[in-house]
Structure 1
Amino acid sequence: MEHDCILGKSKGEWLAEFPILQDLCDLKETCWRNPDQLPYQQAVAQCALTMADIQDASARLQRFASYFISAFSETRPLEGLLESPMVEIPRMKTVLETQYGKSIDGNLMVKLDSHLPISGSIKARGGIYEVLKLAEEIALKEGYLTLEDDYQILDTPRFRALFSRYAVAVGSTGNLGLSIGIISAKLGFKVAVHMSADARQWKKDLLRSKGVEVYEYASDYSVAVKEGRIAAQDNPFCHFVDDENSKTLFLGYAVAALRLKNQCAEQGIVVDAYHPLCVYLPCGVGGGPGGVAFGIKMVFGAHAHCYFAEPTHSCCMLLGMATDYHDQVSVQDFGIDNKTVADGLAVGRASGFVGRFIKPLLDGCYTVTDSRMYQMLAQLADSQDIWLEPSALAGMIGPVVMGDQETADTTPTHLVWATGGNMVPQDTMEAYYRTGKACLLVERKQSTAWIFAQG
């Protein structure tokens, strides 16, 4: 709901001070390049987290590899490593170049976090990691585990009985709830997921089938998080996963950069001053893209450029960063409804922790309409036979709208981070696809009408 007075200023005063807000309020696709980005070394010097923190998280995940092999058969091919493929998508590159009349220099790749084991989204990184860290801390404290043990023993009735004395809670639009719910229930925790109105029914149904208690709210993500936090605060044995402020989640996501470095080496992808890496990350509250961007910057340095992609109706991170008010303002304050098909990105107020932490490192943000996400969903399916949920396509337009400023006279690698999709039920995915084809037909008709009008 639009407010007449926002932090002591009228909407008109906000628009006068920050002209970009007019485009956001008009729901226009908007590009914002970060004027406050610092030189790399200066930005890193300000970071409260370090490469040592990322490596510690990576080592913890490695300790759990034998547990994953035992508890989740789908992790066996990668020997208990939760990781996704990175593949080139040349036919999709041609589709984008043809539709938008713009050449994309270098290679176009996609990072298929949509195909991560266990929960099929980027949230399998941070969400699962935070629960693992909790389980390890409990088991060590209770004397059930040492760091030298084979963690396969956690997949036994003795440990499930231990963890059943504890609870985990989280607020989510969907994918984070899936990752937290699935891993927590498997370990034996009592788990409650507080879901916003944007969450898809199939995600709620899947969680309930795993024994997860699901609470539903008619309001958006912020309310689900608030209610989850309230429900957990009076239980000393309940751990609340705070998607807005958790450094543990953040570091779980950041480990992706270490794996990405190995994948680049395996595929012969060079990242240097002449071969920059441009990464496009769908953004909701900010934890996932923020953690991944932080890791990428720490691993690849000044040769990496990271951009956040948001729906036009849920542009909370761009709003917070462009004004420097971060979590003090929401899209609803300015009359933007926070309603989008991109359920994982349907967040009205950004994480203040992530926004302030990542701003010195981030290259920029942009917004994309639901229609365009639908279009690119169908185009990627047709051109590459890769099927993603709508929110995972937010990054795909990035090389067209943001990818050329830092890459003049270079051969970049454009990497679109595909955040979810392979757990979407077939009938739901087919409905997404049909909508995408319909949106493409409308787009072509509008383009034809414009050409005739100009003629």
Structure 2
Amino acid sequence: MNKELILGKNIQNWLWEYPLLRKMIKTEEVFWINPKLTNFNEASKNLSLTEEDVLDARNRLERFAPYISKVFPETMKTKGIIESPLVEISNMKKLIENQYDFYLPGNLFLKCDSHLPISGSIKARGGIYEVLTHAEKLAAENNKLSLEDDYSVLDSNEFREFFSQYSIAVGSTGNLGLSIGIMSAKIGFNVTVHMSADAKQWKKDLLKSKGVNVIEYDSDYSKAVEEGRKQALSDEKCYFIDDENSKTLFLGYAVAASRLKQQLDEINIIIDKDHPLFVYLPCGVGGGPGGVAFGLKLIFKDNVHCFFGEPTHSPCMLLGLMTQEHDRVCVQDFGIDNITDADGLAVGRASGFVGKTLEHMISGDYTVQDETLYTLLKSLADSENIYLEPSALASIAGAINLFKIDSGYKYLSKNSLEKSIKNATHISWATGGSMVPKNEMYQYYRKGSLQD
């Protein structure tokens, strides 16, 4: 355990102030309820982003839809809108109730961002959106594009040559790099993805096959981000996509909320005080789940309850929220190694921007062992024939924790949900999986079998 001072306090002081840290340091699974959660009207008073900002992002994505549809034929059915299915997983609900000996009141759905077109993960929302935002800005500044144009004109040699003057850099554990690399290369940018040691080889290989420059590091996510930042600082035509602090990424993710509402409306699911919504979001640095949670709170306000799920070895957002120190602390400060098979969640230091934005809106955070992720991966495959990458299964663990642990019941009681919980809708947000190679997925499934 770290014997040096952390932000001026020794480890014993930290443990006295935050007793849950003892279990976190031992990499045990924990469930934390946010004591700073308040009603939406109060929480929204000091926000730097608004509903208008999210609407602007939605409109921008609609402007780009004709281009997306043209260059990515897999989006033609949705006319260039990058969206994922919402699927009820009643077989999985029964299986986990039996497996973990608990009762889950209400319906359980899977939001399949694992099957988003183009890059097969939640990062297709924010990552692609920020690349397109930057492209639109450059084209408009150089009088090559106006808001009234048909954006399918971007699919031309003229525009590809124009964008080839510019570069994009990003640091990633894998999925963000995929979305930004694929989109940037398609539109014509020179793009470099700085990949951390935990990024899967198949993701690196896929990027290289798309003409993306991939730089690999023996260190973790923070090093990859640092190097990406350095690259951008040394070249005035290089744009750095900052997963830790980007409001643009955040807004791209937030657009998911209005589309989810539309999907719920289509299947006649009401969300109100008597029909609460619970959403469980796997969390790494925080941008993806934070943006989605922000968008959901704007729409459903106090009737939605959002929980983040993290690996026991990388609980950076929980650490930041619980201590209220956000990005001033990292898991390594407390001797937690940040080594997990959930590569998209292998982050040691959370986004301070996301933590501070959501500190009064997020309901709680929980951690999951890698072994649990693999067990749930196999269970979902067996019960629903849906295959996800390990990190995505952190979403399924949320509903189990809420109804198996005392603090979960305390949350329901504190928020007067004991009666309405029987009408609840639970959504596990599946963040990635459809692009995992079959042989890799088979290995994941086998690991799940070994946990039985």
Q: Which residue of 1 aligns with 2:380?
A: 380
Q: Which residue of 2 aligns with 1:409?
A: 419
Give the deviation of 1:4 after TM superposition: 1.9
Counterparts of 1:3 and 1:316, CA distance in 2: 20
Q: Which residue of 1 aligns with 2:94?
A: 94
Moved more, 214-223 or 404-413: 404-413
Give the deviation of 1:48 after TM superposition: 1.1
For 1:433, give the aligned amino acid.
Answer: Y
Q: Which residue of 2 aligns with 1:353?
A: 353
**Conserved? CA contact 2:231–2:238, under 8 Å:** no
Counterparts of 2:29 and 2:176, CA distance in 1: 26
Q: Which residue of 2 aligns with 1:33?
A: 33
Which one of 412, 420, 445 corresponds to residue 433 of structure 1? 445
**Conserved? CA contact 1:281–1:306, under 8 Å:** yes
For 1:416, give the aligned amino acid.
Answer: S
Residue 436 of structure 2 corresponds to residue 424 of structure 1: yes
For 2:163, give the aligned amino acid.
Answer: F
Counterparts of 1:263 and 1:40, CA distance in 2: 23
**Conserved? CA contact 1:3–1:335, under 8 Å:** no
Q: Which residue of 2 aligns with 1:234?
A: 234
Secondary structure of residue in 2 paired with 1:64: helix
**Conserved? CA contact 1:341–1:370, under 8 Å:** yes
Q: Provide closer, same or farther for how the CA distance between residues 3 and 123 of structure 1 changes in structure 2, counting only shifts above 3 A.
A: farther
**Conserved? CA contact 1:316–1:347, under 8 Å:** yes
Counterparts of 1:319 and 1:230, CA distance in 2: 27
Secondary structure of residue in 1 paired with 2:111: strand
Secondary structure of residue in 2 paired with 1:32: strand
Q: Which residue of 2 aligns with 1:257?
A: 257
- Give the 5 Å matches for 1:7-406: 7-402=7-402, 405-406=411-412
For 2:112, give the aligned amino acid.
Answer: L
**Conserved? CA contact 2:168–2:192, under 8 Å:** yes
- What CA deviation, in whole Å up to 9, does each residue of 1:319-344 have, x standing for no partner? 11111111111101111000000000
Secondary structure of residue in 2 paired with 1:6: coil
**Conserved? CA contact 2:282–2:289, under 8 Å:** yes
Give the deviation of 1:127 after TM superposition: 0.3
For 1:422, give the aligned amino acid.
Answer: S
Give the deviation of 1:167 after TM superposition: 0.3
- What CA deviation, in whole Å up to 9, does each residue of 1:48-101 have, x standing for no partner? 111000000000000000001110000001111100000100010001111111
Q: Provide closer, same or farther for how the CA distance between residues 60 and 427 of structure 1 changes in structure 2, counting only shifts above 3 A.
A: same
**Conserved? CA contact 2:82–2:116, under 8 Å:** yes
For 1:413, give the aligned amino acid.
Answer: T
Counterparts of 1:3 and 1:327, CA distance in 2: 20
Counterparts of 1:228 and 1:68, CA distance in 2: 26
Give the deviation of 1:26 after TM superposition: 1.0
Secondary structure of residue in 2 paired with 1:314: coil
**Conserved? CA contact 1:279–1:416, under 8 Å:** yes
Q: Which residue of 1 aligns with 2:406?
A: none
Q: Which residue of 2 aligns with 1:449?
A: none
Counterparts of 1:208 and 1:69, CA distance in 2: 23
Give the deviation of 1:3 after TM superposition: 5.2
Give the deviation of 1:256 after TM superposition: 0.2
For 2:186, give the aligned amino acid.
Answer: K
Normalised to the residue count of structure 2, the TM-score between the two structures is: 0.96
Counterparts of 2:382 and 2:108, CA distance in 1: 16
Secondary structure of residue in 2 paired with 1:96: helix
Give the deviation of 1:2 after TM superposition: 3.5
Counterparts of 1:9 and 1:44, CA distance in 2: 32
Counterparts of 1:15 and 1:223, CA distance in 2: 28
Moved more, 421-430 or 40-49: 40-49
Moved more, 6-15 or 197-206: 6-15
Counterparts of 1:390 and 1:96, CA distance in 2: 16
Give the deviation of 1:314 after TM superposition: 0.2
Moved more, 94-103 or 176-185: 94-103
Counterparts of 1:430 and 1:225, CA distance in 2: 31
**Conserved? CA contact 2:264–2:270, under 8 Å:** yes
**Conserved? CA contact 1:287–1:351, under 8 Å:** yes
Secondary structure of residue in 1 paired with 2:333: helix
Pairwise CA RMSD: 0.9
Q: Which residue of 2 aligns with 1:452?
A: none
Secondary structure of residue in 1 paired with 2:218: coil
| Gapped regions of structure 1 (runs ≥ 5) | 441-455
For 2:418, give the aligned amino acid.
Answer: A
Counterparts of 1:242 and 1:202, CA distance in 2: 23
For 2:315, give the aligned amino acid.
Answer: C
Secondary structure of residue in 1 paired with 2:432: coil
Normalised to the residue count of structure 1, the TM-score between the two structures is: 0.96
Counterparts of 2:418 and 2:238, CA distance in 1: 51
| Gapped regions of structure 2 (runs ≥ 5) | 404-408
Moved more, 401-410 or 330-339: 401-410
Counterparts of 2:197 and 2:114, CA distance in 1: 22
**Conserved? CA contact 1:314–1:347, under 8 Å:** yes
Secondary structure of residue in 1 paired with 2:28: coil
**Conserved? CA contact 1:3–1:334, under 8 Å:** no
Give the deviation of 1:185 after TM superposition: 0.2
For 2:54, give the aligned amino acid.
Answer: I
**Conserved? CA contact 2:190–2:212, under 8 Å:** yes
For 2:164, give the aligned amino acid.
Answer: S
